């Protein structure tokens, strides 16, 4: 099963990518799908398989993180 994770952008690359923290680990993420949305450091993205699918606000990211933690059986 593939799960899309919230990720916070830490840096932008010159090649249409960003470095984002996914589950606390840096990951290179393609911004191809969200190009033109003015993505920058500090923004939250919904990421699956290294591709940013959508931009989200901090509240939505926090809610999704809680759901993922619950599914893993971790305390929120």
User: What tokens does 5 get?
Assistant: 């994770």
Higher pLDDT, 21 or 1: 21
Q: Given this model, what pLDDT does residue 28 score? A: 97
Count other C-beta atoms under 10 Å from residue 71's C-beta.
9
> Could you tell me which CATH class the domain 5-71 is placed in?
mainly beta
Interval 2-46: pLDDT, tens:
778 999 999 999 899 999 998 889 999 999 999 989 999 999 999
Give domain limits for the chain.
Answer: 5-71
Check residue 33 and give left, alpha or beta (phi > 0: left; psi -120 to 50: alpha): alpha
């Amino acid at each position: 099963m593939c799960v899309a994770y919230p990720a916070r952008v830490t840096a932008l690359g010159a090649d249409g990518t960003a470095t984002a923290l996914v589950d606390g680990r840096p990951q290179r993420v393609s911004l191809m799908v969200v190009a033109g949305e003015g993505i920058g450091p500090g923004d939250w993205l919904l990421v699956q398989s290294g591709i940013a699918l959508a931009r989200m606000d901090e509240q939505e990211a926090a809610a999704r993180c809680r759901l993922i933690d619950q599914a893993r059986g971790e305390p929120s």
